[in-house]
Amino acid sequence: MIKASNISHFYGAEQVLFDLSFEIKSGEFLFLSGESGSGKSTLLSILSTLLKPSNGKLLIDGEGVGTIKNIDYFRQSKIGFVFQFHYLINYLSVYENIALAALEDKKQNINKILGELGILELSERYPNEISGGQRQRVALARALVNEPKIIFADEPTGSLDSKNSQIVYGLLAEAVKSGTTVVVASHDMQIENYATHTIRLKDGQIL
């Protein structure tokens, strides 16, 4: 599914990732763990195609990321993103926020996913009218709407309490059961209760 070969990255003269090589198989729930500054967010950005590595090669579904002609469509059709800050648009309703990210032939999934996440009744509300946990579930619905092969999540529960964090992790684990590959970068060790594999980073290297 994902093959990283000799991935290194620099910010200016500072090297933050050092020659990382590993594979993520289809249907895995991978936990990228490490303290702040370990390089996990940079690595997640590279794996999710949002950042080009300084050195190394990345294959997703057998396709070299550097050779993809329409990267925007590739991301929209194959990848879902969940971040610490939900990035919902305040003047759009819950339904409209998800529809904005949906491919035309996937918009029929919106109400089904909202129902599965327990927030269908919020579809006509606006982000500032719902709780933080509910907003993060909307962000997760947006990530799931196009039935992506992979979901990348960067500190997806960083602004949530323990109860809502467990709900989000449980929903990600359910996505894995349906065949989606999930990669989460976080310093929250309770993800290990849900993940199938863990990669621990320290100073840009795998422990």
CA 207/CA 191 separation, integer angstroms? 18
On whether residue 109 sits in a domain, the answer given is yes
On whether residue 1 sits in a domain, the answer given is no
On whether residue 34 sits in a domain, the answer given is yes
10 Å CB burial of residue 46 (0-12, 13-18, 19+) is buried
Residue 91: give its domain's CATH number: 3.40.50.300
On whether residue 140 sits in a domain, the answer given is yes
pLDDT tens digits, 25-37: 999 999 999 888 8
Total structural domains in the chain? 1
In this structure, what is the dihedral angle of CA atoms 74, 77, 80, 85, given to the nearest 10 degrees? 80
pLDDT tens digits, 84-141: 777 899 999 999 999 998 989 899 999 988 988 888 999 999 999 998 888 888 988 9
Structural domain harbouring 156: 25-51+67-206
On whether residue 7 sits in a domain, the answer given is no
On whether residue 16 sits in a domain, the answer given is no
User: Tokens representing 135?
Assistant: 């907003």
On whether residue 8 sits in a domain, the answer given is no
On whether residue 95 sits in a domain, the answer given is yes
CA 135/CA 86 separation, integer angstroms? 7
* The model scores a pTM over 0.75: yes
